[in-house]
Chain A
């Protein structure tokens, strides 16, 4: 220990000595997962969306920390029923000096459906759009199929790229009568810019780094750093070592068991924001018999609300958060996190009560428990295996003969989609920064055709919840919508439809002399980074 302390001090001082010339104008960030493309419409996944936020502005910005929508390329907007009118910012110019026009916006929204070989598209974000018509060069009107209360949140995820032609396309739900869609390859090799953003990508090397340069023609506040280098360091230990040695200034996704070490190091600081992603166990509420349950004469005990309640009561969430997660999480009793739109503050904590859990099991006819294997991914969420094993332990303590199986995520979610689990660990966040999308994804009856209940692989289904969510989908009044979301959660709470565990907390670590702002969507916001005062 003494040795390693001395060694790391030596390394840090050596790096400080050699590295000073670069630090003033350059920020180096060690990232756990690298973007797989520069193309802003290619892949709907965390790392890509995080990069997009820095290099390709959308019409609006969804500030999940304050819960407000801020103007970006659209300087103002107004809504009248299903008609949304946006005015574009005339100062926002592309690399060739041309200001963003309605044609660019229509092209970008059309392109979302037409990105070649996209492994996961942004299509569901533009699903409600019926037509787009330009009104002069600098404004446009988007009309939706019905009232869409979350249109702005949806549009905030789609970067606007420059259209090859000045003539606006005719928006439809297919190819908009166009065939030239700009290849992802061209974005990646730098021959096309990703749009208008505080930074521009100057070099992108898969598996090594992504280099960003400040966009000096940016219409908004200029970022501080001239250059930002995003280094891909997927291995936890290596990422921390890079930070300790001064190789990088900031790292994201700080692993739980390194928190204390960084906290105690006065040259470093931790930056965190509660993240909306709920980590939960889902119960198979459809299979009979359920695939991983035996000893019940072919019945599925998880269909019985008393059994689900018993399992919920058997889990000591406080201990899970304080011990297994080292306090880097917030206990959850319901789906939507406290400061997110739609959270229900009236639902009490789910108590830890193993005695009552045993009683409920006995009441349901399982005095001697039953045999169940629960499933968890081994490399998807922070500490996923540890959390699953801790829960396994807690369920064993109330008399269920339980064991745990884990799979790498490449196999895990395929099996989940084939309903091969009885009780499985999952996670789902509020993509758009409000509770409706999260609830539609988790508790709406599963209906892949309509993109509903996508993460509801336990197939929880309640007509009442479906009705409330469908109503919320078309309710524009925020207070009425909030009440609907809260009521839907109260129903799920009573049904014990899920076993919510905790909401994640996103943690970054940075050098003490760098000011780095956390982001609730777990994005790396580079343009607000600056030297600390």
Chain B
């Protein structure tokens, strides 16, 4: 075993990728322990935290005062809880608004429902609605309504008290539902890894059994199985996946079925070709002479000799199963929305690329890429080691 590892580590890159792969596997196993929050628990996150950039700290909202004012000739006063909101006319068309929250500082004041031609000093107007937001307002807030003060002015004022920081931080930001990206990615790795590994293992079991059967029986059985594989290979794999999931519906189990349906062919072909070579060996003849059962000959004698190439294909197919799952989830037919895999995280982030919210798509994208690349490199290294022609 140590000899094997030493030989494997002769390629530094492969060794590094093996470490990465093991790290991802660790993430998959330990996700509930290491992730800061549970992204599947819908009540654990809130829209208050939506779309925060990486490094943000979760804030506990302060209170909000809301009051609807109806100003006569630019003058109004309204109580809202412990706060008093006052509007005073300073000059024609110019009024000043004071929000007195018992001396407390305010974080933001939103003024809604002013006429279209009004303006609020130092405020950002909402692109569509009649809503002005003043952040960290210096009081009083000046409202201008052109040259005249309207006789009646109705509007709503919402004043936010400062939010207080909590201990939770979002290292990689949050997505549009206020879900912590780091936790979502760790759970995404878990799903991707499990789906990839079980999917590829399942295809290996199904594929190699069919391949061995084809080689052993030959004739019609061989023809039927191999033509099925040819037929399958002529359909693009993504299409097989889309079709399967459209018919069966969403869910991890259905994705696994789709992956096995797509990947069994490679295993079947490899197992058959290696087994055909082995069937001509003397030890198989010897086993036949002993009248051992075909199942026993296949499983105990032929299969072990077919394993090295199959294992190499297995590692590479884990990577391609992960990609397949991500593609299907990206297309929206994969897993349920509330249990995001990496592909789905990328898909929902893709929507926000135009708004410069890069972190929602980039981080899961990078993780997916690293995972697929490292598994592929490990697979490649294994192939090189098992291929006698490449041995020095």
Contact = CB atoms under 8 A, between A and B. Distances in A.
Which of A255, A257, A328 has the most B CB atoms < 10 Å from its CB?
Answer: A257
Which of B43, B178, B356 has the most A CB atoms < 10 Å from its CB?
Answer: B43
A260 B355 contact: yes
A45 interface: no
Q: Interface residues of B toward A: which range?
A: 20 to 34
A408 B242 CA distance: 13
B122 to A, nearest CB: 17
Contact of A393 (B45, B127, B355): B45
A319 B47 contact: yes
Interface stretch (B72-80, B252-260, B346-354): B346-354
Given A240-B354, A258-B354, A389-B177, A406 B332 contact: yes
Contacts of A323: 47-48, 50
A403 B50 CA distance: 19
B336 A405 contact: yes
B128 A393 contact: no
Contact of A408 (B42, B131, B332, B357): B332
Nearest to A258: B354
Interface string B10-54: 000000000000000000000000000000011101111010000
Contacts of B293: none
B250 interface: yes
A237 B354 contact: yes
B337 A385 contact: yes
Contacts of A396: 41-43
B126 A393 contact: no
Q: Interface residues of A toward B: which range?
A: 35 or more
Contacts of B246: 411
B351 A257 contact: yes
A402 B351 contact: no
Contacts of A324: 47, 50, 176
Nearest to A378: B332
B351 A393 contact: no
B354 A257 contact: yes
Nearest to B42: A396
A143 interface: no
Given A240-B354, A260-B355, A392 B42 contact: yes
Contacts of B357: 257
Interface in B303-351: 332, 336-338, 351
Interface in A389-403: 389-390, 392-393, 396-397, 402-403
Nearest to B41: A396
B220 interface: no
Interface in B126-166: 126-129, 131
- Secondary structure call for the B interface: loop
B64 to A, nearest CB: 10
Which of B127, B332, B353 has the most A CB atoms < 10 Å from its CB?
Answer: B127
A327 interface: yes
Contacts of A270: 127-128
Interface in A256-280: 257-263, 270, 272
A236 B250 CA distance: 26
B128 A327 contact: yes
A507 B126 CA distance: 13
Contact of B128 (A255, A272, A385, A405): A272
B42 A402 contact: yes
A272 B127 CA distance: 10
A404 interface: yes
A1 B356 contact: yes
Given A324-B176, A390-B47, A397-B43, A404 B332 contact: no
Contact of B127 (A259, A316, A404, A405): A259
Nearest to A272: B128
Contacts of A378: 332
B123 to A, nearest CB: 14
A471 interface: no
A327 B337 contact: no
Contacts of A393: 42-43, 45-47, 177-178
Contacts of B354: 236-237, 240, 255, 257-258, 261
A404 B336 contact: yes
Nearest to B250: A405
A505 interface: yes
Nearest to B249: A405
Interface in B349-369: 351-357
A386 interface: yes
B356 to A, nearest CB: 6
Contact of A389 (B48, B250, B337, B352): B337
Nearest to A316: B47
Interface in A305-332: 316, 319-320, 323-324, 327-328
A259 B127 CA distance: 7
Contacts of B129: 327
A416 to B, nearest CB: 16
Interface string B47-71: 1101000000000000000000000
Nearest to B339: A403
B37 to A, nearest CB: 13
A257 B352 contact: yes
Contacts of B177: 386, 389-390, 393
A1 to B, nearest CB: 6
B338 A327 contact: no
A507 B129 CA distance: 11
B54 to A, nearest CB: 15
A272 B129 CA distance: 9
A1 B353 CA distance: 11
B81 to A, nearest CB: 16
A327 B125 CA distance: 11
Contacts of A320: 47
Given A237-B354, A240-B354, A393-B42, A404 B128 contact: no
A4 to B, nearest CB: 9
A327 B50 CA distance: 14
Given A393-B43, A406-B332, A505-B128, A261 B355 contact: yes
Nearest to A241: B354
Nearest to A393: B42
A378 B178 CA distance: 20
Contacts of B336: 403-405
Contacts of B42: 392-393, 396-397, 402
A406 B127 contact: no
Given A378-B332, A385-B337, A402-B42, A260 B127 contact: yes
Given A260-B127, A261-B355, A385-B337, 8 more contacts: A236-B351, A316-B47, A320-B47, A323-B47, A392-B42, A393-B43, A397-B42, A406-B332
Interface of A: 1, 236-237, 240, 255, 257-263, 270, 272, 316, 319-320, 323-324, 327-328, 378, 385-386, 389-390, 392-393, 396-397, 402-406, 408, 411, 505, 507
Closest 6 CB pairs of A and B: A396-B42, A263-B127, A257-B355, A396-B43, A397-B43, A323-B47
23 contacts: A255-B354, A257-B354, A258-B355, A259-B128, A260-B127, A261-B356, A263-B127, A316-B47, A319-B47, A323-B47, A324-B47, A327-B128, A328-B128, A378-B332, A389-B337, A392-B338, A393-B43, A393-B46, A393-B47, A396-B41, A396-B42, A396-B43, A397-B46
Interface of B: 41-43, 45-48, 50, 126-129, 131, 176-178, 246, 250, 332, 336-338, 351-357
